[in-house]
Structure 1
Amino acid sequence: MSGVLIGRAAELAELTVAMERAAAGGAGAVLVSGDAGVGKSHLVAALTRAARAQGGAVLVGQCAELGESMPYLPLADALWTAAQPGAPEADEVRAALDARPVLKGLLPDGDGGPGAASELGQQQLFGAVLGLLGELGRDRPVLLVLEDLHWADRSTRHLLTFLCRVLQRERVCLVGTYRSDDLHRRHPLRPVVAELLRLPNVTGVEVPPFGPGETAEYLAALSHGAAPVTAEVVERVHRRSEGNPFYAGELYSADPGPRDGAAELPSGLADLLLSRVERLSDGGQRVVRVAAVAGRRIDDELVRRVSGLDEAAVGEALREVVSHQLLVPHGTGYVFRHALLREAVYADLLPGERTRLHADFARRLADLPAGTRGSAAELAHHSLAAHDLPAAFAASVRAGREADRLGAPADAFEHYERALELWEAVPGAAEAAGTDRVRLSLTAAKASARAGEARRAAHRLRRLLDVVDPADVALGSTIREHYSTYLLDLDELDEARAVARDAVAMLPADPPTPGLAWAEAAYARTLLYTDPDGEMPGMAEKAIGTARAAGASGAEAALLVTLGMYRESREADSGVAELFARARDLADAGGDSPQAALRARFQYARTKFDRGDLAGAASAADEGVRFALDNGVGWSMFGIAMRTLQYLVRYTTGDWAEARGIAGGFPLQVVRPYEAQVSAYALFVEVAQGSPVVAERLRWIAPLWGEDLLANYIARGLAAEDALWRDDPREALEHVGAIADPFYGEGASFLRIAATGLWAHAELAARGRAAGDGDAVRRAAEAGDDLMRRVRRAVAVTFDGQPRTWLGLEGHAWVSRAEAERARIDGVHDVELWRKTADLFTYGDPDGGFAYEVARSRWRLAEALAESGDREEAADVWRSAVETAERLEARPLLAVLRDLGARARLGGTAGRAAPASSGRLGALTGREREVLKLVAEGRNNREIAAALFISPKTASVHVSNILAKLDVASRTQAAAVAHREGL
Structure 2
Amino acid sequence: MGVDLRGGLLERDHELDSAAAALDAAAAGTGGVLVLGGPPGTGRSALLDALAEAGQDARFLLLRADGADAERELPFGLVRQLFQPLLTPDRLREPEGWSRGAAGHARRLLTAEPTAVSDARREVVLHGLHSMIGELGRDRPVLLLLDDVQWADRASLRWLGYLARRISRLPVLVACAIAEDCVRTDPVLVREIAATACRTLRPGALSVPGVRRFAAEVLGADCPEELVLTCHEATGGNPGALAAVLSGLRDRDPRPVRRWAEVPTEAVQTLLCDWRMACLSAQPEPVRALADALAVLDADSGADSGAEPLRGLTGMTREDHTSALRALDRIGLLAGTGSPRLAHSTVRAAVLARMTVETAGRLHAEAARLLREEGCPAERVAAHVLAAGGGPRPSDRDVLRSAADAALERGAPGDAVRYLRAALADGSVTDSVRAGLLVDLAVAQRGLDPATSARDLVLAAPRLASAAERAAAALWLPPGLAAAHPAAGALLRQVGGEQGIDLGGPWRDEPDGRPDPVWRLEARLRWLAVQEPARPGTCASRLRRLGDREPVLAEGGGRELLVVLAYEAMLTGSLPAAEVAGVLDRVLEREPASAAHTYTALPVLAHLAIGTDSVRALSGWLDLAGIAAARQESPGVRAVVAAERAVLLATTGRPARARDLAEGVLDSADPAWPEATTLAVLALATVALRTFDPELGARIRQAARDSGDLRAITADRMVRGMSDLARGDPRSALDRFLDCGRQLAGRDWRGPAVACWRGWAAAVHQRLGELDAAAALAEEEDRAATAWGSPAARGRALRLRGVLTAGEAGTELLREAVEVLRGSADPIELGAAIVTLGRRLRAEDPPGVARLMAEADRIAADRGARWLGPGRADAAPGPVLRIVRVGRSALTATEDAVVKLVLRGWSNQRVADDLGVTRRAVEKNLTRIYRKLGVSGRADLEGYSERRSDRGPPGPRERSLQVTAVVTHATDLNNPTFE
TM-score, normalised with respect to structure 1: 0.46
* Structure exhibiting the larger radius of gyration computed from Cα positions: 2
Higher relative contact order, structure no. (Cα contacts within 8 Å, ≥ 6 residues apart) = 2
